[in-house]
Structures are given as C-alpha cells and as structure tokens.
C-alpha cells in the first residue's frame, strides 16, 4: 500500500489532534529522514495557533491551518526563508481586528512567507457611504481556520502531502471553499502548493485571490535581483517610476521610504505557466516561483 493517510482535524466527525508527530519509522517502506509535526503554539499573540511542520530531510516548512493554510516560514538547511514583521507571530485570528474602522486591521496579523488574500475580496479596504467598512484590506481567508486537515505519505512517489479545507461564507453572502494541498518530496528543495476554490452556493459568486509572497533577509539584501520574463512593466505611481532602469535590483534599506510597486505582465507557455527568480546578492542562493 503506497499511500498512508491520517486525519488531523475533521470538524464534522469530531476528530482533532492538537499535537501529533509522525516520521519514517511510522510508515514501513518509506524513505528515511522525513517528519510531520503538528503542534498548538503557546504564549503571546500565537496562543492557540495550530502549526504543521513538514520536513523532507532537506527542506522544512511550517503551514498554519488556523490562518487559512498560510505558509509561515521555510528553512533550507540553516537558511530561513520569510521576513521579520514588527510583531511576534504567527498571530491568532481572534486577535486580528478585521472590523477596525480604518479597514486595515488585517495588518495586525500579517507576517507569513505566503499569505492568501481573498476570497470574496483581495484589495484595499472598501467602505460604505456612511464610512463603515464594507471589505477589509485583503479579505478574510488568511484569518479563517481549516475545518478539515489530513496528512498523507506516498512511499512510491517519496512524497509528503498536507491538505486543508477552509470555508469563507456568511448568511445572504458568498459561500466559498478553499482546498489547499501542500506537497513536497523527500530530500527535495521544492514545494508544490495546489489550491482549488469551490462555490458552495446555488448562486454565482465573485472570486478574488492574491498570493502575497514576502521575503526578507538573508535572500533580500542590497544587490539582490529579480529575474522575470517581462512582456510589460507598469509602475503604480510617479515614485515607483523613478528608477525603472534598475528595477531588478534591490537597493539598501532606507527608513521611512515610500513603497515601490511595479505591475509585471509576464510571458508564459501555452498553459499560462511562467517563472520568476529572486537571486540573493551572493549569486549562490535564490528562490524560484
């Protein structure tokens, strides 16, 4: 039997493991060196956040079922991939003031390597005519917990898989379900994330989905470069248009600097697939999407 499965959470069936550790010793015939560790974090803003660490012997990633299946950080050997937000996360959604009058309460919980924005709304906050928040910044999916979560090992494919289901809905509103599957192969530096969004309502629904991918040191330092197969590059504003000749290269840090935003239209193959590469300043490390 090449595939082995464990249900970590199933709200409908009343199944839940707040902590669980599995490794190659638990699966006869599987390759050595991998592990899956589910924990419930304690203390500070992370109190009650559930995290699943997948380690394939080379790459380790931490997935947050409590935060919409976001990817908090990744580690390749001793190198940490992610960024340092001005808070000590990951933050439990109950402590994120999404209904804050400013519309940007979402920022109080944001510190992931990969964070989804959506599903009904993914952009800047939107307000009713009377000033009340209609849509919070970047939507709600990143602050919603998975109601079903299962882990699998495929001994033939040498792969580990984590699948979570997250529902976003309300009475008289959209009913959308995100099913996210994270897969990695033993001793591989790669990670595959496959998302499917289903409309559970009998009525058509809008869908917006943005993958907010965030990196800092050690990959992003002065001299790091971004490579992409460009068709068009469009700056958001005059500030962002100032240094288009050197847009690929990251400059030195500057306190209080206004953000630079560039919209890139990329060349792709017949299936719409493309790639971008962030190359560290040492030209020895990088991240390919």
Residue 243: what pLDDT? 87
Q: How far is CA 209 from the centre of its chain?
A: 12
Local structure of 56: helix, strand or coil: coil
- pLDDT of 1 > 70? The answer is no
Kind and range of the H or E run holding 211: strand 208-213
pLDDT in tens, 164-207: 999 999 999 899 999 999 999 999 999 999 999 999 999 999 99
The per-residue pLDDT for range 96-147, each reduced to its tens digit, is 999 899 999 999 999 999 999 999 999 999 999 999 999 999 999 999 999 9
pTM for this model (two decimals): 0.95
Q: Are 166 and 178 in contact (CB under 8 A)?
A: yes
């Amino acid at each position: 039997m090449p595939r082995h499965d464990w249900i970590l959470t199933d709200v409908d069936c009343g199944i839940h493991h707040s902590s669980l550790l599995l490794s190659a010793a638990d699966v006869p015939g599987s390759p050595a060196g991998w592990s899956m560790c589910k924990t419930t974090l304690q203390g500070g803003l992370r109190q009650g956040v559930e995290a699943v660490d997948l380690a394939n012997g080379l790459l380790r990633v931490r997935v947050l079922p409590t935060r919409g299946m976001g990817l908090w950080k990744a580690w390749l050997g001793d190198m940490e991939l992610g960024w340092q937000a001005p808070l000590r996360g990951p933050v439990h959604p109950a402590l994120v003031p999404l209904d804050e009058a400013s519309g940007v309460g979402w920022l109080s919980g944001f510190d992931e390597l990969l964070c989804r924005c959506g599903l009904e709304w993914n952009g800047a906050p939107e307000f009713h005519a009377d000033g009340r928040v209609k849509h919070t910044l970047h939507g709600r999916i990143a602050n919603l917990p998975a109601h079903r979560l299962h882990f699998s090992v495929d001994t033939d494919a040498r792969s580990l898989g984590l699948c979570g289901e997250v529902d976003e809905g309300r009475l008289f509103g959209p009913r959308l379900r995100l099913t996210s599957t994270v897969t990695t192969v033993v001793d591989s530096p790669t990670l595959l994330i496959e998302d499917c969004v289903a409309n559970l309502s009998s009525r058509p629904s809008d869908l917006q989905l943005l993958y907010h991918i965030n990196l800092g040191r050690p990959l992003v330092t002065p001299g790091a470069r971004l490579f992409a197969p460009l068709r068009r590059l469009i700056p958001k504003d005059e500030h962002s248009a100032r240094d288009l000749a050197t847009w690929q290269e990251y400059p030195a840090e500057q306190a209080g600097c206004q953000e630079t935003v560039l919209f890139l239209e990329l060349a792709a193959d017949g299936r719409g697939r493309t790639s971008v590469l962030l190359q560290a300043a040492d030209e020895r490390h990088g991240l390919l999407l």
